[in-house]
Amino acid sequence: MTHTPNSTAPPPGNATPPTTPDARRTAFAEGVDRLRKAATTEPGRLRIIGAVLAALVVAFGAVTAWQMTDRAAAADDVLTSSQPLTSDAADIYRSLADANTTASSGFLAGGQETEASRERYEKDIHTAAAKLVNAAANSDPGSPSTDTIAKLNRLLPEYKGLVERARTYNRQGYPVGGAYLRYANEKMQQEMLPAAEDLYTSENQRLRDDYADATPYPWPAIALGVVALAALAWAQRRNYLCTNRVLNHGLVAATATATIVLLWLTAGHTLARSHLNDSVDHGVGSLNVLHDARIASLKARGNENLTLVARGAETTKVGDETVDAYDHDFGRDMNTLAKGLARAERIADDDTGAKPVTAAVGNMTEWQKRHRAAREQDENGNYQQALDMVIGAKGATGECFDSVDKNLATALKHEEAEFQQAAGDGRDALTGLPTGAAVLAVLGAAGAVLGIGRRLSEYR
């Protein structure tokens, strides 16, 4: 009698039991099979086409909303955050430099320091402190700007204390007052103004980064829009070839919404980009040049005053010649001012912006002429006459400096308005685009599904 092995017994040794073909099937493979089988019938093909069209239109709307939300936020930051903070940083620098200049002018006047001069100094210190508080509130935690602001907040009371000591000793007639003022000036020139310049540079970089985020074309969204329209056109042509019907209302509606979104996207972003670029060319660029020119004039005025305060105590080597250090720095700052004004004249785009700059050039030329005359008197031993020609009530270099500063302030105000207009128009061009794109995409996807659904109803 032969023995028949039990078919259910395990195989000998460690051999793996055979598996059936169905056990090796994955859910994905089964899904692919079902999709392939569905594609062999017209209703199945229509369902696949409808799903793909709806997905493309929704993806187009989602990517458009995402990219336009980012660009709109960056454009808003340009207008309401980074550029105002850049201007605040420039104001901090200007206020500190002007305070230093005013302090030296008041020191030269001695007991004759005017109330207006004292108030101007206090106003500059208060402005710098207030702007530092605002900058601290709007800077990113842990950023280089935060560290710079903390440094300036620490140095500002130290500087003010040195100036007060200089004034006190000066009123009492002690020569040590001049040493305290020079020490205060060194703290300002070597620590505070470089820190303020670093803050200005950092905020300018932040502004450039916001522009870089706001202006690039949204190529992924545009590409998806083109693909979605091409797919919708293909589906309508297929529908016409299969049914000889020219229009499918659902597919036409989907095509119309996708077209509207694509046109809105390209036109809106192009317009926003144009306005933002204009705000750089005719706003930010001019503002930076004017800020630099104003700072150069403040430095020049401070060095002019310190030339008389030091009375030759500070010298420097220029080639083989020993010259007054402050007067040498005055000449360097005036060269910077002249170059800045020349550039500001070139880039001014209208008479309103050009006129104050042209007037500042005339003021600067007269300033240089009066300065040379004052230096001649000082070098000839006529200190009081030189002093009167620098800080006197009439015909002094101080009048020229004040006129330069006033004209540059007027030009800055005009360019600030130009920036606000252009950047505001750029931001407004994107208003409603992210939400509109999302809503229209949902409507377009619904139209595609309804259009395909109408064809499917013919097979029931």
Q: What is the mean pLDDT of the chain?
A: 87
- For 275-289, what is the HEC assignment? HHHHHHHHHHHHHHH
Averaged pLDDT, 225-253: 88
Q: What is the pLDDT of residues 260-303, one digit of tens each?
A: 999 999 999 999 999 999 999 888 989 999 999 998 998 899 88
pLDDT at 211: 95
Bridge partners, 324 (sequence order)? 315
Band (132; pLDDT cuts 50, 70, 90) = very high
Task: Please name which of 46, 60, 44, 69 lies closest in space to residue 444, comparing C-alpha atoms.
Answer: 60
**What is the rounded distance in angstroms from the CA atom of residue 260 to the CA atom of residue 257?**
5
Where would I find the beta strands (DSSP E) of 282-393? 315-318, 321-324
Task: Please name which of 394, 396, 377, 373 lies closest in space to residue 385, comparing C-alpha atoms.
Answer: 377
Alpha helices in 215-348 (DSSP H): 219-243, 249-279, 285-310, 325-347
CA angle (423 as vertex; 261, 60 as ends), nearest 5: 20
**What is the rounded distance in angstroms from the CA atom of residue 149 to the CA atom of residue 11?**
80
pLDDT at 123: 94
Provide the CA 277 distance to its chain's centre, in angstroms.
Answer: 12
CA angle (335 as vertex; 375, 384 as ends), nearest 5: 15
Q: What percent of the chain has pLDDT over 90?
A: 55
pLDDT at 397: 94
Higher pLDDT, residue 342 or 39: 342
CA angle (138 as vertex; 136, 144 as ends), nearest 5: 60
Averaged pLDDT, 135-162: 90
Q: What is the pLDDT of residues 404-449, one digit of tens each?
A: 999 999 999 999 999 999 999 999 999 999 999 999 999 999 999 9
Higher pLDDT, residue 4 or 123: 123
For 317, the 3-state DSSP assignment is: strand
> Which range, of 56-70, 118-132, 241-255, averages the lowest pLDDT?
241-255
pTM of the shown model? 0.79
Band (38; pLDDT cuts 50, 70, 90) = low
Higher pLDDT, residue 245 or 378: 378
Tell me the chain's radius of gyration from C-alpha atoms. Answer: 37
pLDDT at 106: 84
pLDDT at 181: 87
Name the one residue in this structure whose structure tokens are 């996807």.
Answer: 445
Band (24; pLDDT cuts 50, 70, 90) = low
Q: Which of 49-53, 133-137, 355-359 has the highest mean pLDDT?
A: 355-359
**What is the rounded distance in angstroms from the CA atom of residue 23 to the CA atom of residue 265?**
50
pLDDT at 179: 86
Cβ(152)–Cβ(192) below 8 Å: yes
Band (367; pLDDT cuts 50, 70, 90) = very high
Name the one residue in this structure whose structure tokens are 């200190």.
Answer: 383
Averaged pLDDT, 371-382: 92
CA angle (158 as vertex; 100, 311 as ends), nearest 5: 45
DSSP state of 16: P
